[in-house]
A and B are shown apart, each in its own frame.
Chain A
């Protein structure tokens, strides 16, 4: 019992301890408190300015792999020689490897902890029982279960041995494997070992994976064709870092990857009618490409538009026949953190050289690989979007760092690897045999290609840890993909990551801070993509300005190119390079769930008293005269009530001739002695203020959302002019709930209206309290109902559509079509 009590006390005490500093009296909240105890301590590996420290190190993992695809059995068999160099100051008794394919084993942690319905579920749709409704399975879930039952998935690791043949002991823990070394690996030393493995390839659509095969049963070739996409297909080194040691966190499917850089030399043996797209550069073109294909490839290097290496017609002819044997494609890649590839006889292939004068890779081959199902949509937009992405992203970071940039169509909706991305959008086959696509599908293709190619910068090159902090790469990438989207077509309905888009999420009562480990985030979309992106838009366009933000972002990218940054490094670099303390911004946006709602509560107008009774008392008299008449007096007058003084006009005295604002000699004397009492400098200041007679306004604001932000004011004046003014967020530093600000304008410049955040820059949740004087703000629904010019992406009045439909069905004498069936 005592033990239990002690334990309990420990758990209760821990959160308090974790908070560090606490305000234990009053309710002062320091929204500007420096992130001292929140950020990691600087050290020799990561310095206090957010740059790699003077003893920064990272491990290196080089691979030579020979892989053979058995297309009929859908099985891959491979052998790798891995050379691991220990650049750390530590001696390592073992090495950990990631066996990601093991996520598909029946007893994997991912399978065992996959909830039936509920947040974080991976796999086909199901719904849990509720009330009297029984639980429901979908056909897709049943199909997945049957595939899991019928197949054995996961790695079959045959052997792990040193190059001299000596077998190494291994211990497999879920998606991880420990390899025990015969002698500990000392700092600066390397070890080489071989791994033999094979695995059955999952059907991507069935198992819900990040890679696998897709089957096309209707292709002309007997038995149909497949597209194979290989990712997480080889045992990858677990990262070993200065801040976490071995990153041995089980692969649960959502938190992506933490990886080491290395050089790769990969040979893949596939059916001889396949086309292979891969991370790296093709090292044996003469062995696998025809002379014509090689010539086209050479031409494409200097082409202004994408050129076919394999035309759609050639691909269609190719997919109708079968292989006669195998071919081995060899690709080499330098300094990549991962390696992926795709293979199919269905691929058409186009390419265009993207020029980067002066860069290490002065010509980058932008290429796309797609089946006929990708069609015209891919021909027109895939490679073009790859080139566009490099143009925009390089401005914010560095020259594209690799010789190729590829977009491959297959079963995966959107996923990124070094030099290669998998993108899902396709055309739809019509009854007449043509292929069409909707505008949304086009937007999705352009958007997803930009996004995935963008990932080659973040995190494939700026190697942040996706498993821990999805937001680090996804936030920057969602921000940059919206910037690139603006520059592709400002009207493209793609982004959902502007400040104004995030208001419904940020005001919601159920959310977690951005700084939450990825597998635990409730909803990754708005949390890791949308909210950080909105934050960067505000930093760039509102708080820092484009010049300083872009400089700082470039500096972050440059410092951490081919290195591993942490959130602390990012926060520190952005502050240091922009020359701005942003701790309040990181604290509010990344470490809390506050939202923005600033209210402009009151405006008071002030005027300097001249102290001169002739002027001031006349003003007071006028003020009283301007007051509305007393209601009782008005009613008396209207009723014709007699008034004593009017009925006794003969009885008057001094006070009937002089009101209380009459200047007396005492007033004048007091004014004179006031002036005499002023020091010279006071007199000067006073005289000038009286002379200038400026307009003084005191604006009172309250912070209802909690998140401190700059106060942006749209000012309108009686003379018809307008001004925009920004008060930095630091105004909230001593009182984060209520602040007042004095604004002074020249005589004649009278304020008539003030609007807070007039351009919707800050994600302010309540527009109504942004206006002074208050005005009636249309609700979303009211605004929608008002007639407005329709635009391309404008509104669709359901009533009009319904009327049209009714007319149509009356004409045709038929009932409107029934709704399609949903769940049963």
Chain B
């Protein structure tokens, strides 16, 4: 009984609109976390399909979001992404600066950075971008760029996963 109560205690708030089936919604984001040797920064680049981002904003209550044409929409979505993506080292969350966004093909790219803890640092990463909205959402985080990549995959509700920053 207690379990059931806990379950219902945690019912998510209703979304304004149910999401219609989108046979061609990609339901995938890929975030790349890498150490920049030259600048000493930890660089984070998120790729989110534009149309998914816009549908998410609509579910968040924005009436007529426009990711391509309206920077306010993009800004709102970038802040949402920043909220749903976290990196912790030890017990300390790494505070990522939001640099901005860019459109690249069918993707919205969101860029963040912070001083890097350096190569080999163990990071606890969690990505829940769009996870609360789309059931089949999958978020991938690549630690490292180029050929040496460790991938962490997140489904809805997954806890932080750890990996070493190459």
In the complex, whether A286 has a CB less than 8 A from a CB of chain B is no
Question: Distance in Å from the Cβ of B40 to the closest Cβ of chain A?
Answer: 12
Asked whether, in the complex, the Cβ of A413 is within 8 Å of the Cβ of B135, the reply is no
A42 / chain B contacts, CB cutoff of 8 Å? none
Inside 8 A of B60's CB, which chain A residues have their CB? Answer: 820-822
Q: Judge whether A496 and B155 touch: CB under 8 Å.
A: no
How distant is A736 from chain B, measured CB to nearest CB, in Å?
A: 15
Is A624 part of the contact surface with B, judged by Cβ < 8 Å?
no
* Chain A residue nearest to B157 in the complex (CB): A127
> Which chain B residues in 74-124 approach chain A with CB under 8 Å?
74-76, 78-80, 83-84, 98-107, 109, 111, 113
B24–A413 contact, CB under 8 A?
yes
Closest to A784 in B: B111
Q: In the complex, what residue of chain A is closest to B32 when comparing beta carbons?
A: A504
**A785 proximity list for chain B (CB < 8 A):** 99
A781 touching B36, Cβ below 8 Å = yes
> How many inter-chain contacts with C-beta < 8 Å in the A-B complex?
285
Q: Is the CB of B145 within 8 A of A438?
A: no
In whole angstroms, what is the CA distance A411 to B22 when docked? 9
Query: Which of chain B's residues have a CB closer than 8 A to the CB of A451?
Result: 24
Given known A776-B38, A820-B62, A822-B83, contact A128–B150 (CB-CB < 8 A)? no
| Residue in A131, A205, A507 whose Cβ sees the most chain B Cβ within 10 Å | A507
CB pair A823–B13 under 8 Å, yes or no, is yes
Give the one of B18, B22, B38, B107 with max A CB within 10 A: B18
User: Chain A residues near B10 (CB, 8 Å)?
Assistant: 133-137, 824
Cβ B20 vs Cβ A413 within 8 A: yes
Nearest-Cβ distance from residue B41 to partner chain A, whole angstroms: 7
Within 8 A of B (CB), among A338-366: none
Q: Given A125-B135, A525-B28, do A208 and B99 touch, yes or no (CB 8 Å)? A: no
Q: Which residue of A lies closest to B43 (CB)?
A: A781
Contact with B along A501-545 (1 / 0, CB 8 A): 100110111110000000000110110010000000000000000
Find out whether the CB atom of B11 lies under 8 angstroms from the CB atom of A137. Answer: yes
Contact with B along A207-238 (1 / 0, CB 8 A): 01110001000000000000000000000000
The residues in A between 121 and 147 inclusive whose CB is less than 8 angstroms from any CB of B are 121-131, 133-140, 142-143
A819 adjacent to B83 (CB under 8 Å): yes
Within 8 A of A (CB), among B125-166: 131-138, 140, 142, 145-147, 149-151, 153, 155-159
Q: How far is the CA of A493 from the CA of B65 in the complex (A)?
A: 16
Shortest Cβ distance from residue B151 to the other chain A in the assembled complex, whole angstroms:
4
Contacts of A526 in B (CB 8 A): 26, 28
- Least CB distance from B93 to A in Å reads 16
A803-824, CB under 8 A of B: which get 1 and which 0? 0000000000000000111111
Does B22 lie within 8 Å of A414, measured CB to CB? yes
Of the stretches A56-64, A276-284, A686-694, A794-802, the one at the interface is A794-802
Complex Cα–Cα for A135 and B6 (A): 8
Measured CB to CB, the nearest residue on chain B to A511 is: B151
Q: Are A793 and B103 in contact (CB under 8 A)?
A: yes
Cβ of A819 and Cβ of B103 under 8 Å apart?
Answer: no
A525 near B105 with CB under 8 A, answer no
Q: Is the CB of A796 within 8 A of B34?
A: no
B68 touches A439 (CB 8 A): yes
Contacting residues, chain B, for A444 (C-beta < 8 A): 51
Bound form: Cα–Cα A820–B25 in Å:
23
Interface contact B38-A130, CB-CB below 8 Å: no
Given contacts A125-B131, A493-B68, A822-B60, contact A779 B13 (CB under 8 A): no
- CB of A137 within 8 A of CB of B7, answer yes
A214–B54 Cα distance when bound, in Å, is 22
Do A129 and B157 touch (CB < 8 A)?
A: yes
Which of the candidate stretches A112-120, A324-332, A611-619 sits at the interface with the other chain?
A112-120
For A567, what are the chain B residues with a Cβ–Cβ distance below 8 Å? none
Contacts of A509 in B (CB 8 A): 149-151
CA gap between A508 and B144 in the complex, in Å? 10
Query: What CA separation (Å) do A415 and B156 show in the bound complex?
Result: 26
Is the CB–CB distance between B140 and A508 below 8 Å? yes
Residues of B within 8 A of A424 (CB): 20, 22
Pairwise interchain contact B15-A781, C-beta atoms closer than 8 A: no
Check if A634 is an interface residue, CB within 8 A of chain B: no
- Determine the distance from Cα of A441 to Cα of B83 in the docked complex, in whole angstroms: 25
Is B54 a contact partner of A441 (Cβ separation < 8 A)?
yes
| Contact partners of A784 in chain B: CB under 8 A | 99-100, 102, 111
Whole-angstrom distance between the Cβ of B138 and the nearest chain A Cβ: 5
| B135:A794 contact, CB within 8 angstroms | no
Residue with the greatest number of chain B CB neighbours at <10 A, chosen from A125, A206, A765: A125
Q: Specify which chain B residues have a CB less than 8 angstroms from the CB of A142 in the assembled complex.
A: 11
The CA-CA distance from A214 to B19 in the complex, in Å, is 12
The yes or no answer to A636 lying at the interface (CB within 8 A) is no
Closest to B146 in A: A766
Contact status A139-B24, CB under 8 Å: no
Contacts of B22 in A (CB 8 A): 413-414, 424
CB atoms of A135 and B105 under 8 A apart:
no
Asked if A125 and B156 make an inter-chain contact with CB atoms under 8 angstroms apart, the answer reads yes
* Residue in A closest to B22 when the chains form the complex, CB atoms: A413
Instruction: Provide the residues of chain B in CB contact with A414, threshold 8 Å.
Output: 22-24
Interface centre among A411, A428, A451 (most CB of B within 10 A): A428
Q: Please report which residues of chain B, range 51-83, place their CB below 8 angstroms from some CB of chain A when the two chains form the complex.
A: 51, 54, 58, 60-76, 78-80, 83
Task: Give the chain A neighbours of B80 by CB distance below 8 A.
Answer: 819, 822
B147 with A780: CB separation less than 8 A: no
In contact, A130 and B157 (Cβ under 8 angstroms): yes
B134 (CB) vs chain A CBs: closest residue: A125
For the complex, give the distance between the alpha carbons of A128 and B121 in Å: 29
Q: Is the CB of A117 within 8 A of B156?
A: yes
Q: Is A495 an interface residue (CB 8 A)?
A: yes
Q: Is the CB of B61 within 8 A of A820?
A: yes
A438 and B159 within 8 A (CB): no
A412 to B146 alpha-carbon distance, docked (Å): 38
Would A798 and B12 be within 8 Å (CB), given that A439-B66, A793-B68, A820-B62 are in contact?
no
Q: A413-B24, A436-B64 are in contact. List 4 more A-B contacts (CB 8 A).
A: A134-B9, A140-B19, A501-B105, A779-B43
A selection of 27 A-B contacts at a CB cut-off of 8 Å is A120-B136, A127-B132, A134-B10, A135-B10, A135-B157, A136-B157, A140-B14, A140-B18, A140-B19, A205-B21, A209-B21, A414-B24, A424-B22, A440-B50, A440-B51, A444-B51, A504-B142, A510-B151, A510-B153, A780-B45, A781-B99, A784-B102, A794-B103, A801-B71, A801-B72, A821-B13, A824-B12
